Amino acid sequence: MLTYERIYAVVRQIPRGRVATYGQVAELAGLVGKPRLVGYALYRVDMTIPDVPWQRVINAKGEVSQSPLRNGTDYIQRAMLEDEGIEFDHRGRVNLSQYKWHPPDSVIEQALAAFKEKLD
């Protein structure tokens, strides 16, 4: 699905030790107001392939979103983020003012341009 590929192109740009929110990824991918679509796309990512760092996308509260569909693997996401140096507070939240990714426009433009080239 081309929409998912746009989402993955953005997520691939999130650097180690940083996080983005579902809404932020949606906006950067040109899908304003569709954070759930980002969640659906990331749910489909094969966790064993590091090409799409799905673990770096969290909810707007700074939390790992809990989902019964993930068969109890939510703890893996937190562990992966902690391995990258991201700290959680006592409520299980990431300090977004410290860890939220703020990409320059050029990074996203380049990622989406590369995605479009693959289509041609």
Please tell me the predicted confidence (pLDDT) of residue 1: 55
Please tell me the predicted confidence (pLDDT) of residue 66: 82
Please tell me the predicted confidence (pLDDT) of residue 120: 59
Please tell me the predicted confidence (pLDDT) of residue 119: 62
pLDDT by residue, tens only, the chain of 120 residues: 589 988 999 999 999 999 999 999 999 998 999 999 999 999 888 777 779 999 999 999 999 988 776 666 778 899 999 999 999 999 999 999 999 999 987 877 777 776 666 665
Please tell me the predicted confidence (pLDDT) of residue 2: 86
Query: For residue 36, which of 47, 21, 49 has the smallest C-alpha distance?
Result: 21
**Cα-based torsion angle of the residue sequence 12, 16, 19, 20 in order, rounded to the nearest 10 degrees:** -20
Please tell me the predicted confidence (pLDDT) of residue 36: 94
By CB atoms closer than 10 A (0-12, 13-18, 19+), residue 97 is: exposed
Please tell me the predicted confidence (pLDDT) of residue 72: 64
The token pair that represents 29 in the structure block: 């991918």
Distance CA 4, CA 39 (A): 10
By CB atoms closer than 10 A (0-12, 13-18, 19+), residue 22 is: buried
Enumerate domains of the chain plus CATH numbers: 2-108 (1.10.10.10)
